[in-house]
Chains A and B, each alone.
Chain A
């Protein structure tokens, strides 16, 4: 408990605590570097709970644009804190230099843990491939977004701007998170000269008197139709279904300039936050792995062990009905390290079905450390789970699938089968848990209507929310909008024309 007293004493002397934290940070940074981590320059700010909750409500950026949902998140966080249900220890921002906010009331042990944890995140931000395309000056960028939005509010009025912003936020998840890594060779969509192509069908060569037998009328018509279809497809906008729905809207929706700008702000921020959603398990696992090593091997004094252990256990605790990303992440990294240390990989190991030999398998390769650094560099949650979640891991850590049992009206453990657990987990992680939706046609029914297609993968869309989202989409596209999806096994087209939402069956073509 002396740690707690140290912090409080520091507070009273003013500045003392800051200095202490700065010294701690320098020391811990030294350890981190020695382990091979390479974090951004990281500055630590000590703040009170209300300030921390405020910044957390803004998604980490104190300079964000005004919006009521930040106020809503603030209320939730602050009430949660005051009722003693939850507490944020730290917040770390992917930016160069990296900024981390620490709760002032943390005990000294907590601060040590949190600082070590932050260096793990900072290293991950800097080196994980999926973060490579994020804007590292996002603090500045967010401030710019804020300024622009405030200007629009002044000019066009709060309600007008807010309504449009609400509509944009309603579709903010319709992005293509992977597009950032493969800049598309975007073919010019104005490329239309081959539209007026000859539609004369190809004929089979024959003598003239044989022609009507060799090329009967049905055959010719069929050829002609095929060519016309081909041309129609070419004329279609977009040419291929476009997953970046927001980009399509930016380019093709009839928006005012300020609206286009608001939409682009929403899109920019969605892309900025996407990698954090794509690497939640890895990022938290990596940071937890390193705080546990740094703390237990370097930083902790004897008197601090219990407090550290309690906090660490709290972070990694699991509830039956939810998977704790900290826990899964850290255990997978440890598992990988052990496997590569002992050489438990490769064909020979995979093919070995002597359980005893597998259990004691140890080639003493010592490649573990190298491997986990490689993993943190190139994987994201989907590939991470796909590659490294093994049957042994699944059994050891007691993973299961739960399902609602309508007979008992309870959530129950349904299955422990490895393949099913993995499949379910991967499904939940795919596209960050969002349904995959693409723009299929920007000129649907040749009436300038917008048609999206939901690639159904076993789960239906939420109907009530889907309808409301469709209404919001209409506010952006300003013409009738449609989404094709499956409802209880049947293909349906959900439409909104500005007056009412309609649902109709779609015949198989």
Chain B
């Protein structure tokens, strides 16, 4: 059945689509969105177009509410304006919905028309996994199966004739006890590791790092939806590279020169040490403003990519964040060497926050 609303709905979507990129960009670029990933829930706005009216602004944001508390008590969740009737504030232009990261990834995938990733076939291995599906007569007390134990005790007491309906006391003895036990099953597994590398030399400012942070969040979200398990590693570098944790990665401030090859070398070392290329889907991402220290080092970078990184990676991604100081040379070098169509590498330039949207599409749009 074709619904009457269908026409109005597609009209609305058409209007939004003219806007949809803007809308989506708007919430992708909203930094605080990432901050809300607390209990695995984020708010995503449903696009709404507000017909403008003469109405009150929100200059004091006051209203009438109901409930306990002394003056000065902050209101809990349930924000004003969500309710109806007297307490009604001018509504927000965006309705925020809490969705899980899985749903978020799905929405991202739909809006950006991202293809599903095909894990490399030969690298899909069988892993042993324990499942607690069986019952055993012995085991640790922490795995005792309460119900089954009582059932055994009841069976025993009835068959012994000591059970009385008037005084139904059932006391299990040791022989009655039943425990959960596991069976080992083989499950197919595909794992991925994302290795983020970032240039933290002086020319990368806070804004550039924020862009990398937002972009990394969306890449993580998408890859997480595609793989059972995902690991992330972080490398920062100026003239030398070191591995750091998530927090440090986005907050460290270094200065000094830039030797990209140092990061690539460390990346290779990490892969060799921790990630067997036959078992892992490997995604190295490198972000910088495009400056490198001398063509000698660049040559070394290209060589490392060609011989060490490409052979083990699903795809190598390079994101060049535009900064006031960066020359942007490195992307040119990469494109020159490998050409635009090399399937092993994806390069993307991110001019500003608005550019994140296109850049994500560049990186993930190939389904690799």
The residues of A with any CB-CB pair to B shorter than 8 Å are: 50-51, 54, 57-58, 62, 66-72, 74-76, 79-80, 83, 85, 166, 169-174, 280-281, 284, 318-325, 327-328, 381, 385, 397-404, 408, 410-416, 421, 424-425, 428-429, 433-435, 437, 454, 459-466, 468-469, 472, 483
Identify which of B4, B48, B55, B56 contacts A76 (C-beta below 8 A). Answer: B48
A323 to B65: give the CA distance in the assembly, Å: 5
A472 to B13: give the CA distance in the assembly, Å: 22
B69 close to A400 (CB less than 8 A): yes
Identify which of A172, A322, A385, A464 contacts B82 (C-beta below 8 A). Answer: A322
A321 close to B62 (CB less than 8 A): no
Identify which of B51, B56, B74, B103 contacts A410 (C-beta below 8 A). Answer: B74
Residue of B at shortest CB range from A51? B3
B5 is an interface residue with CB less than 8 A from chain A: yes
B13 close to A71 (CB less than 8 A): yes
B140 is an interface residue with CB less than 8 A from chain A: no
B7 close to A322 (CB less than 8 A): no
B84 close to A322 (CB less than 8 A): yes
B51 close to A79 (CB less than 8 A): no
B293 is an interface residue with CB less than 8 A from chain A: no
Q: A71-B11, A398-B66 are in contact. Are A411 and B80 (CB under 8 A)?
A: yes
A434 close to B5 (CB less than 8 A): no
B52 is an interface residue with CB less than 8 A from chain A: yes
Q: A318-B67, A401-B64, A459-B60 are in contact. Are A469 and B54 (CB under 8 A)?
A: yes
A463 to B59: give the CA distance in the assembly, Å: 11
Of the listed residues B9, B46, B78, the one surrounded by the most CB atoms of chain A closer than 10 A to its CB is B9
B57 close to A461 (CB less than 8 A): yes
B278 is an interface residue with CB less than 8 A from chain A: no
B160 is an interface residue with CB less than 8 A from chain A: no
Q: How far is the CB of A461 from chain B (nearest CB, A)?
A: 6
Residues of B with C-beta under 8 A to A58: 4-5
Identify which of A62, A74, A83 contacts B9 (C-beta below 8 A). Answer: A74
Residues of B with C-beta under 8 A to A412: 71-75
A428 close to B64 (CB less than 8 A): yes
A169 to B53: give the CA distance in the assembly, Å: 8
B55 close to A320 (CB less than 8 A): no
The residues of B with any CB-CB pair to A shorter than 8 Å are: 3-5, 7-13, 15, 46, 48-76, 78-88, 90, 95, 97, 99, 103
A166 close to B51 (CB less than 8 A): yes
Is the contact region of chain B dominated by helix, strand, or loop, or is it mixed? loop
B8 close to A67 (CB less than 8 A): yes
Residue of A at shortest CB range from B63? A402
Residues of A with C-beta under 8 A to B58: 462
A413 close to B69 (CB less than 8 A): yes
- 11 inter-chain pairs at a CB distance below 8 angstroms, sorted by A residue, are A71-B11, A320-B78, A321-B79, A323-B66, A397-B66, A412-B73, A424-B64, A435-B54, A461-B56, A462-B90, A469-B52
Q: How far is the CB of A503 from chain B (nearest CB, A)?
A: 14
A428 close to B51 (CB less than 8 A): no
Residues of B with C-beta under 8 A to A421: 64
Identify which of A399, A411, A483 contacts B54 (C-beta below 8 A). Answer: A483
Of the listed residues B11, B85, B103, the one surrounded by the most CB atoms of chain A closer than 10 A to its CB is B85
Residue of B at shortest CB range from A429? B86
Residues of B with C-beta under 8 A to A166: 51
Residues of B with C-beta under 8 A to A459: 56-57, 59-60
Residues of A with C-beta under 8 A to B83: 319, 321-324
A421 to B71: give the CA distance in the assembly, Å: 13
A483 to B52: give the CA distance in the assembly, Å: 15
Q: A323-B85, A327-B66 known; 18 other A-B pairs, CB under 8 Å?
A: A50-B3, A57-B5, A68-B15, A71-B13, A76-B95, A170-B51, A280-B84, A318-B65, A324-B84, A398-B67, A404-B62, A412-B75, A414-B71, A421-B64, A424-B62, A461-B54, A461-B56, A465-B54
B78 close to A322 (CB less than 8 A): yes
B60 close to A70 (CB less than 8 A): no
A68 to B10: give the CA distance in the assembly, Å: 8
A251 to B117: give the CA distance in the assembly, Å: 63
Residues of B with C-beta under 8 A to A385: 86
Identify which of B10, B53, B60, B97 contacts A83 (C-beta below 8 A). Answer: B97
A322 close to B99 (CB less than 8 A): no
A462 close to B57 (CB less than 8 A): yes
B86 close to A328 (CB less than 8 A): yes
B56 close to A79 (CB less than 8 A): no
B61 close to A400 (CB less than 8 A): no
